[in-house]
Amino acid sequence: MATKANVNPATKNYAKIGIIAAIVIAVAAGGAWLVSAMNNNSGATVEESMEAVSADAMNGANLRIAVIRMDEIQNEAVALKDLRKQKENYESKLRDELTKRQKELEKEKAEIEKSQDVLSREALQRRVVDYQGRVNDLQRDLTERAQSIEMSFQKALNEVQTKHLDPIIEGTIAKKKLSLVIDGRFARTGADAENLDITEEIVKALDKKVSKVKMDTPKGF
């Protein structure tokens, strides 16, 4: 397999956070150097430098290429569907708790407003401060738990990638004697490109290897 890339934790869906098995084309980046206007003869000329570059290159007739559509793997693989379901269940529980606690705070706010003419200024101020503290605690708690869900999810995704998906892709490259595997999201292919897309084979192999990966229980659940 070509280059490996980490899963992006910041994402909310597989297009952002999904597993990205590093199977992209290696692009040679051309460098440009500014030449000083002052005379400096310490470096080699371009012609002299090019002596280090060989004329060897891959023969197109021997090049074996395949395309893998990572977005389809993310959407169709059984283990990844199950992981999304686990994450959604935790998020649903968090939303339900948020709704419940918001209602409690709204009720408390209404009671404070009603007591303005009854309580002393100091007592009212203490109650308002206490109420604001509860609001802040709720915001902090929900934020930390939402982040914990995402961290647990990303950890499970990374496990699927490193333990299961990457070895399958590497094994496929070896079995098919491929020279290059490209992420299909960045590829444009013709209709007559026979046996080019191997996504379905990868999904079947991944489903056979693993069907469920359990998320670690997020903090606060």
Summarize pLDDT for 83-104 with one digit per residue, the tens. Answer: 999 999 999 999 999 999 999 9
Q: Which one is predicted more confidently, 68 or 13?
A: 68
- The mean pLDDT of 35-42, rounded to a whole number, is 43
Whole-prediction pTM value? Answer: 0.67
Q: Which residues pair with 182 in a beta bridge?
A: 67
Chain-centroid distance, C-alpha 150:
10
Look at residue 38 and tell me whether its pLDDT is greater than 70. Answer: no
pLDDT value at position 182?
A: 86
Residues 105 and 131: beta-carbon distance below 8 Å: yes
Domain locations along the chain: 14-53+64-209
- Average pLDDT along the chain: 78
